Amino acid sequence: MIRIVFKYLLVLIVVCVSLWGYFQFTTYPYKVDRWFQPYEAFIVGAVARKCSPEFSWISVVAEYAVTVRGAYSAQTAFMSPDKQLETCTLGYKDKLFSEQLNDLHRYRYASTTKLITVAAIVRLGSQGKIGFDDKLVSFFPELTEFEDDRIRQISIAHLLNHTAGFNRLTLSGDPMFLRRNKPWCPANFSKLETMTLAFNPGEKQVYSNEAYCLLGEVIHRVTGEEYRAYVEREFSLAERRIKFAEHYYYDDEVRYDYRYEEWYNDSYLTLFDFNSLSSSAGLSGSAAALAGLLWDIHHQSSSPFIPRLPIKTCNFHKKISCAKSGVFQYQPEKDGMALYYHEGYLPGSSSIAVIDSYGGVTVVLRSGADKLPATPANEWIVWIYHRLNLHYTMQGKLSILNALPVNNIH
């Protein structure tokens, strides 16, 4: 009798576990993938790692991206102040145990593209073709009547600094990323005549993809070239194998990972208009290519990434979310190293590009959203700051005191 009861109990347990597993796989497939991620990370770290040089400090960044931040794959690059390139890749281009990732494979740069738009605007400014105080409406003579007269006050500087008065933090979401709806910019600039700003230009800083779409159109109207054509020529993108992302994947593009997304999978390609995103989140390429491009731009006679004047409303020692001329700055120690950076995100991928005050450039490209909660302690820039501090200390550029451990840094 006991044996029969045990038999039925065992069958009941097996059935319940099977039903529970089926429910998890069909209802929350990404949840199951998340369970396996630490084991995948262990395998990837053991058998799918390529670093040059082998013991480069940048390898720690790639390992951190995969093992701690949950990336399916990571491609990292560091171009030193004297233009020596170090790279490290971790993972596979496509499926697990398929082609191993290398430093030529392509990722979507997402919003780190904005650094190139900033560089283009500053370059045109140095040529006397654009002024930071120029009003946006001066480039749109066909627009004459505005329901919100504050539109006339928006300057190029307001657009660069995300202070134009646009607000994407609404129930309808970011106007540049509305599902299946074409953005008003750059298709319908007459929208400027009927829209109402959320606040006065210059009054508040709210991150804006609309602003950078408008900057792309300003570049078009000033140069007579489409934004894509202008930056491709001006920054020699073809030579660097940097391309604009499309609604399809390139042959050399990596597989993106959606396990830490809630709403997206590969079908997101059909939801967004990538031509409209050209100047805000449109570029793709390798980490090494972006590091080289940013290094070349930064080491011109006048770098577009370093603010000429301090921002009165920002404390870069405490506040990470401040931007000047489109570039965010982090400098926790008054006389210490400063980092000028931009992060990027698209469904299934994320990135960060950092220019440090010694002249080095660090780029991290990842397949997958971040699995850590978005808190100040988990900011990528904070972690990179301490790793760069350690690197430059080992190089003799910083005092050993700068490399002492700091709480909450993994």
Structure tokens belonging to residue 14: 């097996």
pLDDT at position 118, please? 96
242 contacts 115 by C-beta, under 8 angstroms: no
pLDDT at position 313, please? 57
108 contacts 367 by C-beta, under 8 angstroms: no
Does 265 score more than 90 pLDDT?
no
Instruction: Name the residue ranges covered by the structural domains of the chain.
Output: 2-43, 48-403
Q: What is the CATH number of domain 48-403?
A: 3.40.710.10
pLDDT at position 410, please? 41
Comparing CA positions, the residue from 76, 55, 10 lying closest to residue 352 is: 76
What is the rounded CA–CA span in Å between residue 205 and residue 167? Answer: 9
Residue given tokens 């400027």 in the structure block: 192
What is the rounded CA–CA span in Å between residue 270 and residue 282? Answer: 15
Instruction: Lowest mean pLDDT of 46-60, 96-110, 122-136, 347-361, name the range.
Output: 46-60
pLDDT confidence of 301, banded at 50, 70, 90? confident
pLDDT at position 406, please? 45
Exposure of 352 by Cβ count < 10 A (0-12 exposed, 13-18 middle, 19+ buried)? buried
Assign residue 110 a region (left: φ > 0; alpha: ψ between -120 and 50; beta: otherwise). Answer: left
Does 405 score more than 90 pLDDT?
no
What is the rounded CA–CA span in Å between residue 355 and residue 205? Answer: 22
pLDDT at position 384, please? 95
pLDDT at position 25, please? 46
* Span between the terminal Cα atoms of the chain, in Å: 56
Prediction pTM value: 0.88
pLDDT confidence of 123, banded at 50, 70, 90? very high
Q: What angle do helix axes 58-67 and 29-47 make, rounded to 10 degrees?
A: 150
